[in-house]
Structure 1
Amino acid sequence: MTEILPDETERFVRAMVTETDETLAEMEAHGEEIGFPTVGPEVGAFLRLAARMVDASRIFEFGSGFGYSAYWFAEALPEDGEIVLTEHDPDELERAREFLARGGYADRATFEDGDALETIARYDGPFDVVLVDCHKRGYPDALDAVAEKVADGGVIIADNAMESGIQDFETILEILEGGDPEGADEDTRGIAEYLLAVRDDEAFDTAAIPLGEGIAVSYRR
């Protein structure tokens, strides 16, 4: 977790997450061991809830790492559902395969090794849920590539809307409030441009939720 939420609020949100299974606990420990950031159980529980609320049967992830967020999503999918994981690191993708198999979800997962933008170009929609959690400078391109493939009543969820360790939140906020600061790095500007685009797109209703490192949730009308 970051400093987005006050300590007591963070404790409250965490206390509301149902107990995770052994595989998720292993995944969380693995992420801490190798220093790989995950969305965490608070955001994970929200992802699962969002998938259930839209009765998702198809999910696409821009960036999957070793499958932590996909595992939360997979719990909400029907047995004949599909989640497409994308990851440029084949070792991480293999770990994702192992973890999802351990949880009994590998049969509803498709594992795509390589660039997520190239992968989404090969897929037809609609997708009920899309998670954007790739390189921050690539968020606007991800939105362009997938917006028309989101089902009516589906959602796009962007992680790291506020923080990630490589972007500057104050600069993002300044841009969202109408400023044009000089010297914004590519990752910061990528997040800001994504948020502006999806906020102002009449096809979506978007809200920011201060969980984890901040998520932006966009509902396709």
Structure 2
Amino acid sequence: MTVPDDVETFAATVGPERDAVLEEMDERAAETGFPTVGPVVGGWLQQFAGLVDAERVFEFGSGFGYSAYWFARGLPADGEVVLTEVDEDELDDAREYLERGGYADRARFELGDAIETVDDYEAPVDVVLIDNEKDRYVEAFEAVREKVPVGGVVLADNMTAGPFDFEEIHRLVVEGGDSDDANATGVADYLARVGGDDDFVTTLLALGEGVAVSRRVS
């Protein structure tokens, strides 16, 4: 399920204005089909960083740096967004974009598996974005959970759209049962995991491809 184009366009108009680097990144995503959160969700990433007064953001999967760029815009000058990526070329591109935008000084670039990388970072991690392999979402949450302070948020992309049919994820979440689709199962398992965690309150941001927002309350 995706949000109607006119709603997305309206939301983008209301949201933070993109700079030239973000416009270029959006053009790249459109031309290549590379999956990004898009400008509407991007504006919310910037907003979340500011709302929780984030000093550190950690990303599970960064691609060429699109979401990290939005996060960096919401961080203080001494803040830090940690990008993780297994593709060295994409990570190099991310570094170039953030340098051109003037945000490289608040970014750290980690080549390798994000779930292994997060062990190197001590708490607090104020904002987390989970956007790696869908069947590893629960694993990512478990790896970072204890590093998130009260008031911090964990965001997970692709809750309503992605490499699966919405009907399948809807069935799994609402009706339960099993599925041969590992991606849909991974997302459903993630929603069950965070939804059953008494230390977090989870809601759905129904923009882009759907973002689960889990705020730590205890």
Matched-pair contact (CA < 8 Å) for 2:8–2:208: no
- Deviation, structure 1 residue 12: 2.2
Aligned to 2:153: 155
What percent of counterpart residues are identical? 53
Matched-pair contact (CA < 8 Å) for 1:84–1:112: yes
Matched-pair contact (CA < 8 Å) for 1:59–1:130: yes
Q: Residues 7 and 83 from structure 1, CA distance in 2 versus in 1: closer, same or farther, beyond 3 angstroms?
A: closer
- Deviation, structure 1 residue 34: 2.5
Query: Residues of 2 paired with 1:175 and 1:208: CA distance?
Result: 16
Query: Residues of 2 paired with 1:16 and 1:130: CA distance?
Result: 24
- Deviation, structure 1 residue 178: 4.0
Q: Residues 204 and 29 from structure 1, CA distance in 2 versus in 1: closer, same or farther, beyond 3 angstroms?
A: same
Whether 1:173 and 2:170 are equivalent positions in the alignment is: yes
The code of the aligned residue for 1:184 comes to D
Whether 1:203 and 2:194 are equivalent positions in the alignment is: no
Matched-pair contact (CA < 8 Å) for 2:130–2:154: yes
| SS class of match (1:161) | coil
| SS class of match (1:37) | coil
| SS class of match (1:194) | helix
Matched-pair contact (CA < 8 Å) for 1:156–1:217: yes
Q: TM-score, normalised by structure 1?
A: 0.94
| Equivalenced residues, count | 217
- Deviation, structure 1 residue 167: 1.7
Whether 1:217 and 2:213 are equivalent positions in the alignment is: yes
Which stretch of the first structure deviates more once superposed, 169-178 or 93-102? Answer: 169-178
**Structure 1 segments of 4+ aligned residues over 4 angstroms from their partners:** none
CA RMSD of aligned residues (A): 1.2
Matched-pair contact (CA < 8 Å) for 2:81–2:107: yes
Matched-pair contact (CA < 8 Å) for 2:58–2:127: yes
Aligned match for 1:96, one of 94, 97, 110: 94
Unmatched runs of 5 consecutive residues or more in structure 2: none
| SS class of match (1:153) | coil
The code of the aligned residue for 1:157 comes to L
- Deviation, structure 1 residue 10: 2.6
- 1:138-163 per-position Cα deviation (integer Å, ceiling 9, x unaligned): 10100110111111100001010111
Aligned match for 2:54, one of 56, 65, 88: 56
| SS class of match (1:152) | coil
Q: How does 1:52-91 map to 2 (within 5 A)?
A: 52-91=50-89
- 1:150-198 per-position Cα deviation (integer Å, ceiling 9, x unaligned): 111000010101111x1232222222224213x3321111111001110
Query: Residues of 1 paired with 2:108 and 2:32: CA distance?
Result: 24
The code of the aligned residue for 2:190 comes to Y
Aligned to 1:139: 137
Matched-pair contact (CA < 8 Å) for 1:171–1:184: no
Query: Residues of 2 paired with 1:19 and 1:124: CA distance?
Result: 33
